[in-house]
Structure 1
Amino acid sequence: MNLRASLLLLLAWPFMGLAQMPQPNSAEIALGLSKLNVKGSVLYIAAHPDDENTRLLAYLAKEVKVRTGYLSLTRGDGGQNLIGNEQAELLGLIRTQELLAARRIDGAEQFFTRANDFGFSKTPEESFQIWGKEQILADVVWTIRKFRPDVIITRFPEDSRAGHGHHSGSAILAREAFSAAADPKRFPEQLKYVKVWQAKRILWNTFNFGSTNTTAPDQLKIDVGLFNPLLGKSYGEIAAISRTNHKSQGFGSTLQRGEAIEYFSPTAGEPAKTGLFDGIDILVQDQAVLALLAQIQKNYQVDAPSKSLPELLKLKKLSQDKPFNHQLLDELIFACAGLWIDANATENTYAAGDSVAVNYTAIYRSNASMPIKIMVGNQSRQLEPNKATNLVFKLATTNDDLTQPYWLAENHPIGQYHIASQDEVGYPENPKKLAVNTVIELGGEKFNLNTPVTFKSTDPIRGEVYQNLVIAPAVTATLSEKAYIFNGNTPKTITVQLKSFRSNSTGTIKPQLPAGWQSSPAAINFKLDKKGDEQLISFTITPADTTTSGQIVMELNNTKAKGLKTISYEHIPSITLFPEASARLEKVDLKMVGKRIAYIDGAGDLVADALKQIGYEVTHLNTTQVLNNDLSAFDAIVTGVRLYNINDEAKSLQPKLMAYVQNGGTLVVQYNVNTNLKLNNLGPYPFKLANKRVTDENAPVKFIAPNHPALNYPNKITGKDFEGWVQERGIYFATDIAPQYATILSMNDPGESASDGSLLVADYGKGKFVYTSLVFFRELPAGVPGAYRLFANLLAPKQP
């Protein structure tokens, strides 16, 4: 049969993400039953993935049993990546999935605003200026009005103790939203969808981190380290498992057991004296419902959950017009029935507009005596115990069904994502996905269940693997780089990877270029016979004499083309998106001395690729290759970001690298953080690292050693070379610098003292050692011309 399932909105808010129908065990069902008589809710608010207190979230969700949510203002786009080289929006996609994985462990729900994590911010005022305070405040108000929490908790204070302008900004926004959500004059356009809401109180979850202790004996105290016998874990253990999902940040955590006291300080609303929910009736009040619930919990049999079905169905009928957690009740009914419904596409990708072939399976695996009937489209089936019912059908798709994160559907300014529809705000993923609607009849009651269509495969190592279904453009055109650097007027060949998601795809592709730039050929016709076919095509681009920068935009059949990007890690579902097929073009006056570069990878960056693009011959070396090979063949060696933080063999590498420098080589060490270093001395002479940075990418740069070769050979560096930088200047600057180092640059954020620790250069033996905290790992992939010119100077050999 043919069904039109036009991106059905799933029942839960927010959308839970990739998953087949959840199958809780008997203990989890028992825990769920105990939650049915609780109607309270709490919303935790902070700035980033990893800011949340997972132990407290787990305690609230599974011990207090209130509906618990975490609102992260950002998706963590501006941080560093310890598992790969994804940055910015791509890193935000990874961290979104890591947060969803964490929530599946601790039991909370996940929400976001449209704020973009643009990088470290020193003050909330700077954060608000870049984000656009009023719009982000509106998103926080929207979440409060939709989630309707009884209590709001913030992670951070509003002042400098928060340690980050995003952190303190999140506390300010939470406090203001606490009042604004109850005011019909604030953001009245939202009231077409939601009602005003006044939480009872807002509190700050104080902390004792490092040298900052904000707890006090007179604050409200709660022991959240309790042990849950149904789950066989304490909330400290659950929290550590949850937090370990933040793998891109290296947050693997040790399981904590025993007493764990959390402290709370009042912010606004009625103060709490003995508990977070003082003065709030968080329990269901209907006596008939409570009596039946007590009976259900008393009669529940761990070895026979299905025996609770008659009473649960009676509870559904009794509570249907009353305030109650109807969604949880439905889920528990399905769990007690052992109901499993799965909808899987026969292929993992389809072109928008094509029909998706779906294999649908329904089965109930219990000894329930009552019949279960399902209706899918115009087909009706009676389910038999432990026998799978299989249906095969097709779902039509349209061009509106393209797989694309909703917040990345359009280009956006630095501070916030553009979200087209108000009802999309807050969701961690697209709230609508291709889905199959099933009407279930069980014991005289009807249920509607929307099951997302996924793709299931069998991996020889991992076994059964579910992935999100991908609805793609008919043809994608992916550029090989985000930015292309041209040395003067020398032409460059640019490659485009075409991929077809539909058979018999034909057309013409051509680049749109800045005024005066030329392409040879001007356009290329293509024909891709089969779905999945790929073709690599090339254009030779010649810069204009006058226009030095701009964009290349690929056009496919006279419309802007989409590229293809897939992010794949085992700990999260594969992520597919279709960014605009465009890239930055920059013409640079660039001289290079020495071409053979060895690159020792650190935590993950794109610097090596950027160097290859401008003509360096880059060889990646692992630890074994460094230790066992003659390094003298290389003109320079570069260490990737945070190498000395993450490589356990860094100490064994150092003598070989220092000998390489002493014998005439050039070693460029990129930034490391000041904690968890694998050795004390990163260079031939002492210096230390500090958590000091310049976050203003336009901060003035002073040349304190203007005649030093680093600023003159082979490229003359001027103030113009520091124009157009992105996100920041530098991070984790050097301090306590030995006199053998030349300090080259001085810079500071407004209102702060200047630092000379961003670039150190020292002669050592016949060679040259460089340590730089400048964020070349951001600037080079972004195509910043001056960053390329300066980095080429750092790679140049020691001057006589």
Structure 2
Amino acid sequence: MKRILPLLLFLFAAAKTLFAQTAPPADLATIRQNLKKLDVLGSVLYIAAHPDDENTRLLAYLAQEKHYRTGYLSLTRGDGGQNLIGKEQSELLGLIRTQELLAARRVDGAEQFFSRANDFGFSKNPEETLKFWDKDKVLGDMVWVIRKFRPDVMICRFPTTGEGGHGNHTASAILAQEAFSAAADPKRYPEQLQYVKVWQAKRLLWNTFNFGSVNAISADQFKLNIGTYNPTLGKGYGEIAAESRSNHKSQGFGSARQRGDAFEYFKTILGEAPKTDLMDGVNTTWSRIPVGAAIGTQVAAITKAFNSDAPEASVPALVDLLGKVDQTIGTDKAMQTVRVGEVAVADYDYWHQQKTKELKDLIAACAGLWFEAYADQPSYAVGNSMNIKAQAIKFANIPVALNSIDIGSEKQDIATSSLQIGQLQTNNITIPAQKVSNPYWLEAPHGIGSYSIADEFKIGNPENPDAPAVIYHFKINGIAINYTRNVVFKYVDPARGEIYQPLVIAPAVTANIAEKTYVYNSTEPQTVQVKLKSYTNASGSISLKPVSGWKISPEKIDFSDKQKGDEWIVNFSVSPVDNKSNTNVLEAVVTANGEQSSLGVLNIKYEHIPNITLFPPAQAKLVNIDLKTAGKKIGYIQGAGDLIPESLREVGYDVHPLSENEIINTDLSGYDAIIVGVRAYNVNERLAYEQPKLLDYVKNGGNLVVQYNNPSGLVTQQLGPYPFRPVNERVTDETAAVKITDAQNPLLNYPNKITQDDFKGWVQERGLYFVTGIEPKYSTPLEMNDPGESAKNGSLIVADYGKGRYVYTSLAFFRQLPAGVPGAYRLFINLISKPKKQ
């Protein structure tokens, strides 16, 4: 794995970020906790596959009770999961889950890391996972993180033997076991060694578990009681864990606070087994560094002398300690090499970096020193000047001078030599916006299993490490100390108060094509609407790239004198030249102020995470298929969130979202079909009361189509007119063979004749949470299975009930229709098209 290192090496250590403010907490509890952490030189890395796999109680205990540097390496960002709070899927869901992980880490005190692996969906075995992920590259990412983080102990959430169920889970353990040894081998990924040193962790453990049907705990395993109470924080680790885990809102993992004893068990996989302590055999005191014992003595003295009523009294000693840390373990590397060897020098460097950062934060907190940097606008276009306001204030009687501030290549010396108690100092600096602020892992197209990342040094970081930041050059108690603060946008919301959000750097003009997919079943033209937004004053034109086999008119549309913030809409006419089936990509191209770009803009907003703004390719899919439709008026009952209504509108359906009042109190017979959204019977408790009316709709001649539900947490067990039940069975191979067992079934014939060709080109999976226990009154026209498994007939069931028809499907239409899969469209149209009886 080739590593291209800009001058950003130090930013890897700053993976722990804060939402709601950029300055770290400076309350007394935090200061006391950080004083204890200053005296501990130990680190633990927890490893699993997805967001929400981590043991938040254990992470909180390790970080805040034992005061180890604690990290969680999630190999993926959770892109392939289901979304309980919105419609975002795939990479967009991964962005949400990334921020939920960062929110969790802000609570439990651990740090967050990732590999390039993409969560491509549920996998039944590790072999499939490792094939899609590209094992060698993801293993290299893990080795890189281990060599940077230098964990004394590594812990897996899952075993290599399959008890974790998901193939991604098992693969994460297989890779962790190999990375444990590879990180210590100079022959493995040697290109990394010009930046990092080899590292051998003391042990690799499996954090065994007892959940679901699996109990991997045994009495002979090493165990820890982590249900203790932290009086400094006023909470036990079961309480902290619940607060941390409850940030995984898109997965529905809100948790109750737990109090009292709680044991975690561990099985040794590699290395020396612990006997009395997780860190057996690891020196976690300052004496692990040959010249560090004196520093440990000074840390103990500072901690003992700390006065809660006057934290500033500790500043002189902390500043003196910072100088000694620099002199003792930050310099004289040649002599260190002679005394303790090359590997030990790497340990010197590592702990110098970690403890210097901790000391600097303690000094600022005890000195009552606060400083942050803000842009005066929420967004800027590339090339425009950004006006940055850098503020600083001190609240303690400690001599503090702000000598200069840097941002990028700009440096500004400060005329004021000293900060005055209680007086806010504001300095303004102007720099050009240089780069569109897209998430680094989404800057280039990628395959199924892993992201394509040009600058591989960024791998491991949860967010962009090169976001605009201000460096403050202070002199505190006579010693020069530098700090970095990311530039954010801050404003006041009348209801929520002061809000911090990430700064956005955009193209000059973005172009959003209105729909992700345009589906055609004739040569009739459709209007393709493009919404443009200007992030600067601009003139230019918008066009759609020519596409073979398609007519596009007009060739381009000019615009002029647009002001920053302007939004406008243009329309193009697009049609296929013939009736031949084909699929193409449509791309919008903006020329603004002489520069070209093909980027749209997408905003994701939830109150529990920062706003997410990204600039995806300005593209849509053109799909010309042989598609017949029947009926027009569709009622839709929203579930956990999907894009089926938008997809149906694309092919001419009138889709109306149904409220509870409409379901209970109005005549539903006017709807040609009613569709129930994905996981609706998991998230909408009112469906238990609405269900009788829906079944009456069917009985009186209606057509009810219900999409998949999770078997856990159903609001009613009577999902249909006759018995069946969802179970945790699925077909994850999107290319798995499909057997048509009832070729004459109306579902496969009206209005479209369904054949094997209609199951080509599906994405991610065939279906999930199939049904079993199927009453014989249902017909099951399809069978399918993953390789090596028995055939399953629970993906699609249908039954006549009274004068109407009831359909339940576990096929993943919520993924296929937004992706423009032709055969999935044809089959879904059949589900909502009940033939009229003669």
Q: Is the 8 A contact 1:767 1:798 kept in 2?
A: no
Amino acid at match of 1:355: S
Once the two structures are TM-superposed, the CA of residue 624 in structure 1 deviates from its matched residue by: 2.7
Q: Deviations over 1:64-112 (max 9, x none)?
A: 1110000000000000001100000000000000000000000000000
CA distance in 2, matches of 1:538, 1:599: 29
Aligned length: 792
Once the two structures are TM-superposed, the CA of residue 547 in structure 1 deviates from its matched residue by: 6.2
CA distance in 1, matches of 2:510, 2:9: 26
Q: Give the 3 Å change call, closer, same or farther, for CA 9–201 of structure 1 in structure 2.
A: closer
Once the two structures are TM-superposed, the CA of residue 513 in structure 1 deviates from its matched residue by: 3.7
Amino acid at match of 2:709: N
What does residue range 279-428 of structure 1 map to in structure 2 within 5 Å?
Answer: 279-285=281-287, 286-320=292-326, 321-322=328-329, 323=348, 324=351, 325-366=355-396, 368-376=397-405, 377-381=412-416, 382-398=418-434, 401-428=435-462
Q: Is the 8 A contact 1:159 1:168 kept in 2?
A: yes
Q: Is the 8 A contact 2:145 2:460 kept in 1?
A: yes
Cross-structure match for 1:775: 812
Q: Is the 8 A contact 1:494 1:539 kept in 2?
A: yes
CA distance in 1, matches of 2:642, 2:300: 57
Identity %: 54
Give the TM-score, by structure 1 length: 0.97
Amino acid at match of 2:160: E
Cross-structure match for 1:682: 719
- SS class of match (2:171): helix
Q: Is the 8 A contact 2:636 2:656 kept in 1?
A: yes
Matched, 1:512 2:518: no
Amino acid at match of 2:231: P
Q: Is the 8 A contact 2:750 2:835 kept in 1?
A: no
Q: Deviations over 1:724-755 (max 9, x none)?
A: 00000000001000011111110000000000
What does residue range 158-169 of structure 1 map to in structure 2 within 5 Å?
Answer: 158-169=160-171
Amino acid at match of 2:549: G
Over the residues paired in the alignment, what is the CA RMSD in angstroms?
1.5
CA distance in 1, matches of 2:7, 2:509: 22
Q: Deviations over 1:693-731 (max 9, x none)?
A: 000000000111110000000100011111000000000
Once the two structures are TM-superposed, the CA of residue 404 in structure 1 deviates from its matched residue by: 0.4
Q: Give the 3 Å change call, closer, same or farther, for CA 9–175 of structure 1 in structure 2.
A: closer
Matched, 1:62 2:64: yes
Q: Is the 8 A contact 1:500 1:528 kept in 2?
A: no
CA distance in 1, matches of 2:384, 2:542: 22
Once the two structures are TM-superposed, the CA of residue 469 in structure 1 deviates from its matched residue by: 0.6
CA distance in 2, matches of 1:111, 1:339: 29
Q: Deviations over 1:642-662 (max 9, x none)?
A: 000011111101011011111
Once the two structures are TM-superposed, the CA of residue 798 in structure 1 deviates from its matched residue by: 4.7
Matched, 1:731 2:768: yes
Cross-structure match for 1:459: 493
Amino acid at match of 1:785: P
Q: Deviations over 1:578-616 (max 9, x none)?
A: 011112111011111111001110001111111111110
Once the two structures are TM-superposed, the CA of residue 797 in structure 1 deviates from its matched residue by: 2.0
Q: Is the 8 A contact 1:99 1:246 kept in 2?
A: yes
Q: Give the 3 Å change call, closer, same or farther, for CA 42–8 of structure 1 in structure 2.
A: closer
Once the two structures are TM-superposed, the CA of residue 392 in structure 1 deviates from its matched residue by: 2.1
Give the TM-score, by structure 2 length: 0.93
Of 269, 272, 292, the residue aligned with 1:267 is: 269
Cross-structure match for 2:507: 473
Q: Deviations over 1:147-186 (max 9, x none)?
A: 0101100000112211100000000000000000011111
CA distance in 2, matches of 1:141, 1:290: 31
- SS class of match (1:632): coil
Of 595, 607, 610, the residue aligned with 2:644 is: 607
What does residue range 47-58 of structure 1 map to in structure 2 within 5 Å?
Answer: 47-58=49-60
Which region of structure 1 is more displaced relative to structure 2, 317-326 or 118-127?
Answer: 317-326
CA distance in 2, matches of 1:228, 1:704: 62
What does residue range 76-225 of structure 1 map to in structure 2 within 5 Å?
Answer: 76-225=78-227
CA distance in 2, matches of 1:147, 1:56: 18
Q: Is the 8 A contact 1:236 1:255 kept in 2?
A: yes
Q: Is the 8 A contact 1:8 1:434 kept in 2?
A: no
Cross-structure match for 2:608: 571
Q: Give the 3 Å change call, closer, same or farther, for CA 741–11 of structure 1 in structure 2.
A: closer
- SS class of match (1:326): helix
CA distance in 2, matches of 1:645, 1:656: 18
Of 484, 496, 520, the residue aligned with 1:486 is: 520
Which region of structure 1 is more displaced relative to structure 2, 38-47 or 414-423?
Answer: 414-423
CA distance in 2, matches of 1:711, 1:516: 30
Q: Give the 3 Å change call, closer, same or farther, for CA 158–528 of structure 1 in structure 2.
A: farther
Q: Give the 3 Å change call, closer, same or farther, for CA 415–515 of structure 1 in structure 2.
A: same
Once the two structures are TM-superposed, the CA of residue 11 in structure 1 deviates from its matched residue by: 7.8
- SS class of match (1:205): strand
CA distance in 2, matches of 1:120, 1:168: 12
Q: Is the 8 A contact 1:6 1:434 kept in 2?
A: no
Cross-structure match for 1:533: 566
Q: Give the 3 Å change call, closer, same or farther, for CA 380–448 of structure 1 in structure 2.
A: farther
Structure 2: tracts of 5 or more residues without a match: 1-5, 330-347, 406-411
Amino acid at match of 1:295: A
CA distance in 2, matches of 1:755, 1:705: 14
Which region of structure 1 is more displaced relative to structure 2, 270-279 or 233-242?
Answer: 270-279
Q: Is the 8 A contact 2:636 2:677 kept in 1?
A: yes
Q: Deviations over 1:103-144 (max 9, x none)?
A: 000000000000000000000000011111111100011100
- SS class of match (1:102): helix
Which region of structure 1 is more displaced relative to structure 2, 323-332 or 239-248?
Answer: 323-332
- SS class of match (2:720): coil
Q: Is the 8 A contact 1:8 1:450 kept in 2?
A: no
Amino acid at match of 2:752: N
Q: Is the 8 A contact 1:306 1:337 kept in 2?
A: yes
CA distance in 2, matches of 1:158, 1:514: 48
Which region of structure 1 is more displaced relative to structure 2, 313-322 or 531-540?
Answer: 313-322
Q: Is the 8 A contact 2:47 2:154 kept in 1?
A: yes
Which region of structure 1 is more displaced relative to structure 2, 89-98 or 535-544?
Answer: 535-544
Amino acid at match of 2:404: M
Cross-structure match for 1:14: 15
Once the two structures are TM-superposed, the CA of residue 7 in structure 1 deviates from its matched residue by: 9.2
Q: Is the 8 A contact 2:12 2:465 kept in 1?
A: no
CA distance in 1, matches of 2:390, 2:822: 54
Relative contact order (alpha carbons < 8 A, sep ≥ 6): 1 or 2 greater? 1
Amino acid at match of 1:312: L
Of 662, 668, 684, the residue aligned with 1:631 is: 668
CA distance in 2, matches of 1:305, 1:766: 78
Once the two structures are TM-superposed, the CA of residue 10 in structure 1 deviates from its matched residue by: 4.6
Q: Is the 8 A contact 2:767 2:810 kept in 1?
A: yes
- SS class of match (1:542): strand
Q: Is the 8 A contact 2:516 2:818 kept in 1?
A: yes
Which region of structure 1 is more displaced relative to structure 2, 647-656 or 368-377?
Answer: 368-377
Q: Give the 3 Å change call, closer, same or farther, for CA 708–547 of structure 1 in structure 2.
A: closer
Q: Give the 3 Å change call, closer, same or farther, for CA 183–380 of structure 1 in structure 2.
A: farther
Q: Is the 8 A contact 1:598 1:638 kept in 2?
A: yes
Which region of structure 1 is more displaced relative to structure 2, 747-756 or 619-628?
Answer: 619-628
Amino acid at match of 1:438: Y
Q: Is the 8 A contact 2:782 2:795 kept in 1?
A: yes
Amino acid at match of 1:233: K
Q: Is the 8 A contact 1:121 1:165 kept in 2?
A: yes
